[in-house]
Amino acid sequence: MNFQLTEEQEMLRKMVRDFAENEVGPTAAERDEEERFDRSIFDKMAELGLTGIPWPEEYGGIGADYVSYVIAVEELSRVCASTGVTLSAHISLASWPIYKFGNEKQKKTYLYQLATGEKLGAYALSEPGAGSDVASMRTTAKLDGDHYVLNGSKVWITNGGEAEIYIVFAKTDMDARHKGISAFIVEKGTPGFSFGKKEKKLGIRSSPTTELIFEDCRVPKENMLGKEGEGFKIAMMTLDGGRNGIAAQAVGIAQGALDAAVEYAKEREQFGKPIANQQGISFKLADMATEVEASRLLTYQAAWLESQGLPYGKASAMSKLFAGDTAMRVTTEAVQVFGGYGYTKDYPVERFMRDAKITQIYEGTNEIQRLVIGRMLTKE
Ligand code: CAA
Ligand code: FAD
C-alpha cells in the first residue's frame, strides 16, 4: 500500500493550486455576489489541459488518471466551489458517458470537443417531478424516421445555457420504468431545444443552474448514446464516478474553510492571547482537520479504484456522503471560529458554508447515498 502521490500528481496539484489562487480565487466573491459565470476561466482551464484530464490524447485529453482529476476539482473548490463543479460536471457527467458508451465517431467528435475545452458539457437527468426517483421521468423521445423527437423539460442543470453539449435522458418507452430510458447527445442550437428559468441559489452562485425545454426537438438517431433502453444504466454508472467528483468538491470547500480558520485563529487575540491558544478553539480545529483528511482519503481511494479498473461505486457513494457531511460541519465550525466576522462577507467562510450545503444534495442526496451503500452492503 502506498499513500504517496506520484510526481505527476504532485505537479498537477501545484499547477492547479497556482492557477486557482492567482486566477480563480481573486474574483470568486465578486462572481458569487453577481451570480456570474465566467467562461474565460473555463477557457484557461482548457489551455492548461484540465478539461480533458483523464482522457487519452487521441480524444483530446492529457492521459492522466482519476486521482489527478479529483485533485484538480479539490484545488479549484478550495478557492471557488462554482469553478470546481463546472469542471466536475464537464468531465464526470458530460464526457465520461461518451468515453464509456460512445461509438468511435461520437468520441472523435463530442469527447474530443469536450476534452480540449472547445465546448462545455452538461448532464440532464433531473426533472420537476423526478429528482431522487429517476425512473419516474416524463421527458419522451419518439422515433420518427432518422430522428428521435424529444418533448419535456429538465431542471437544475449545471452549466445549463452555457454548455454546448448535453447528455439528455428521455423515455423511449413510457410504459417501462427504468428499462424505458435512453440517453442522447444533444447540441445547443438544435431546433426545439431552449433554456428556461435560471435558478437563484444559496450557494455555488457563479455556476449556472438552468431549466432545459424540449419541444418537438429532433435529435439525429446517430446521437443516441449506447442502445435504446440503456439510459438508466448509463445514468447510474455515470453518477458512480460523478459522486466522487462532488466528494472532491466537498474536500476542497472544507480545506479552504479550515485554512482560513487556522490563519484567523492565529491572528485573532481575545483574553490576551491568540484564540488558537484557547483549547476550545484548537480542539475544534483539530477535529476539522481530521475530518477533512478522512474525507480526502476516501475520495482519493475511490478515484484510485476507478483508475485501477476495480469496482468503485460503493466507495464513491461513501466518499460523497462523508465528504459532503464533513464540508457542512467544517464550514459551519469555520464561521464559528471567526465569530461575528465570519457571518459577514468580509471573509470567505460564509461563502464556503453556503457552498458546502449543495454537496449534500446534488448527484443524489446524502439520504440516497445511504440507500445506495445500504443496497450494496446487502447484495455483497
Ligand atoms: N450501475 C449499474 N447498474 C445499476 C446501478 C449502477 N450504479 N444502479 C442501479 N443499477 C441497475 C440495477 O441493478 C437494476 O437493474 P435491473 O434492471 O437488472 O434490475 C436497475 O438499474 C434499477 O435499479 P434500482 O432498482 O436500484 O432503481 P431505483 O429506481 O430503485 O433507483 C436510485 C435507484 C439509486 C435511487 C437512483 O434512482 C438514483 O441514483 N437516484 C438519485 C438521482 C441522482 O443522483 N441524480 C443526480 C443528478 S446529476 C446532478 O445532480 C449534477 C450535479 O451534481 C452537478
Ligand atoms: P427529492 O427527490 O424530491 O427529495 C426531497 C427529499 O426527500 C430529500 O431530502 C431526499 O433525500 C428525500 N428522499 C427522497 N427519496 C428518498 C428515499 N427513497 N429515502 C430517503 N429519503 C428520500 N440534476 C441533473 O440532472 N443535472 C445537473 O447538472 C444537476 N445539477 C444540480 C445543481 C443544483 C444547484 C441543484 C440544486 C440540483 C442539481 N441537480 C442536477 C438535481 C439534483 O440531483 C436533485 O436536486 C437531487 O437529486 C434531489 O432531487 P429533488 O431535488 O427532486 O429532491
Calculate how far, in angstroms, residue 126's C-alpha sits from the geometric centre of ligand 2. Answer: 8
CATH class of 232-378: mainly alpha
Calculate how far, in angstroms, residue 168's C-alpha sits from the geometric centre of ligand 2. Answer: 17
Evaluate: CB of 33 within 6 angstroms of ligand 2: no
Calculate how far, in angstroms, residue 69's C-alpha sits from the geometric centre of ligand 2. Answer: 24
Judge whether 8 counts as a catalytic residue. no
Number of the ligand 1 atom closest to the C-alpha atom of 134:
37
Number of the ligand 1 atom closest to the C-alpha atom of 89:
54
Helix residue ranges per DSSP H, the chain: 7-19, 28-34, 39-47, 66-79, 81-88, 96-101, 104-106, 112-115, 231-267, 279-307, 313-338, 349-358, 366-379
Number of the ligand 2 atom closest to the C-alpha atom of 367:
11
The CATH architecture of the domain made up of 7-120 is Orthogonal Bundle (1.10)
In this structure, which ligand is nearest to the CA of 372? 1
Amino acid at 145: G
Max intra-chain CA distance, the chain: 79
Number of the ligand 1 atom closest to the C-alpha atom of 232:
21
Q: Which residues pair with 270 in a beta bridge?
A: 273
| Shortest-distance Cα residue to atom 47 of ligand 1 | 363
Q: What is the spatial distance between Cα 335 and Cα 330, in angstroms, rounded to a whole number?
A: 9
Evaluate: CB of 371 within 6 angstroms of ligand 2: yes
User: What would you report as the CA-atom Rg of the chain, rounded to the nearest whole angstrom?
Assistant: 21
Q: What is the spatial distance between Cα 37 and Cα 42, in angstroms, rounded to a whole number?
A: 10
* Locus of grid cell 476516501: 298
Q: Which three cell numbers stand for residue 313?
A: 461505486
Whether the CB-CB separation of 226 and 234 falls below 8 Å is answered with yes
Q: Which three cell numbers stand for residue 52?
A: 480533458
Identify the active-site residue in 199, 363, 367, 380.
363
Q: Which three cell numbers stand for residue 264?
A: 484567523
Q: pLDDT digits over 39-87, tens only?
A: 999 999 999 999 999 999 999 999 999 999 999 999 999 999 999 999 9
Calculate how far, in angstroms, residue 232's C-alpha sits from the geometric centre of ligand 1. Answer: 7
pLDDT of amino acid 1: 81
Task: Report domain extents, the chain.
Answer: 7-120, 122-229, 232-378
CATH number belonging to the domain at 122-229, selected among 3.30.70.2740, 1.10.645.10, 3.30.360.10, 2.40.110.10: 2.40.110.10
Mutate to test the pocket of ligand 2, among 206, 362, 373 (most ligand atoms within 8 A of CB): 362
* Locus of grid cell 424540449: 214
Evaluate: CB of 203 within 6 angstroms of ligand 2: no
| Angle between the N-to-C axes of helices 231-267 and 313-338, in degrees from 0 to 180, rounded to the nearest 10 | 30
**Which of the residues in the chain have pLDDT under 70?**
none
pLDDT of amino acid 192: 98
Q: 13 in helix, strand or coil?
A: helix
pLDDT of amino acid 223: 98
pLDDT of amino acid 118: 98
| Shortest-distance Cα residue to atom 23 of ligand 2 | 126
Q: 252 in helix, strand or coil?
A: helix
